[in-house]
A and B are shown apart, each in its own frame.
Chain A
Amino acid sequence: SQKIEQNSEALNIQEGKTATLTCNYTNYSPAYLQWYRQDPGRGPVFLLLIRENEKEKRKERLKVTFDTTLKQSLFHITASQPADSATYLCALDRGADGLTFGKGTHLIIQP
């Protein structure tokens, strides 16, 4: 069956450093992959989408890579700030059947 794995443990990063989150998947070949941010008590918010033929995508301090050979995506936040603290969700497309989400990684940026 399809599996998406994100680091279930909280990731603690010092302010100003680069935070790197990992998303691994098996038994699937998605056409694209998305990253979302979720704050406590709120719905997920779309951040970035990367297609299978793209190696890297950037948006301001965010960068996403997509390695279809390794079946892995990396999500980077550079110059991290305490306001970046949240849970970050990786999601793979299933076409018209919607997205399959990972459990998310809780990121804590310490001042």
Chain B
Amino acid sequence: NAGVTQTPKFRILKIGQSMTLQCTQDMNHNYMYWYRQDPGMGLKLIYYSVGAGITDKGEVPNGYNVSRSTTEDFPLRLELAAPSQTSVYFCASSSTEQGSYGYTFGSGTRLTVV
């Protein structure tokens, strides 16, 4: 029972580079989310998905893209990395729309853009 798995755990990118943060869950959850967490700040929603093939923007989507080709996977793509994207990124999933049984989070990816 792995839950939500994120890779990589750490990454340093140069300005302008791109990368994909991987997220996979093995709980057959329909709903998946990407959040970023900056020091002293609350988690901010980047993108979310209510099922395979369906994605939508959250609060802070600029500079990111997502896809959801399967129920299990929800990768987050960063194009043209900028220092403002230095953050810790968390992927989460839930079984219901309102997350009424709570969200399951991954352990995070710490990204530094230099």
Contact = CB atoms under 8 A, between A and B. Distances in A.
Interface of A: 4, 8, 31-32, 34, 36, 41-47, 49, 89, 93, 95-104
A43 B99 contact: no
A42 B109 CA distance: 10
Contact of A43 (B40, B45, B101, B105): B105
Contacts of A100: 42, 45
Give the residue among B40, B41, B58, B98 with the most A Cβ atoms within 10 A: B98
B21 to A, nearest CB: 13
Contact of B101 (A4, A36, A49, A96): A49
Interface of B: 4, 31, 33, 35, 40-43, 45, 48, 50, 56, 58, 90, 92, 97-108
A34 B42 contact: no
A95 B90 contact: no
Given A43-B90, A43-B105, A97-B58, A49 B43 contact: no
A32 B106 CA distance: 23
B105 A44 contact: yes
Contact of A93 (B33, B56, B98): B98
A103 B33 contact: no
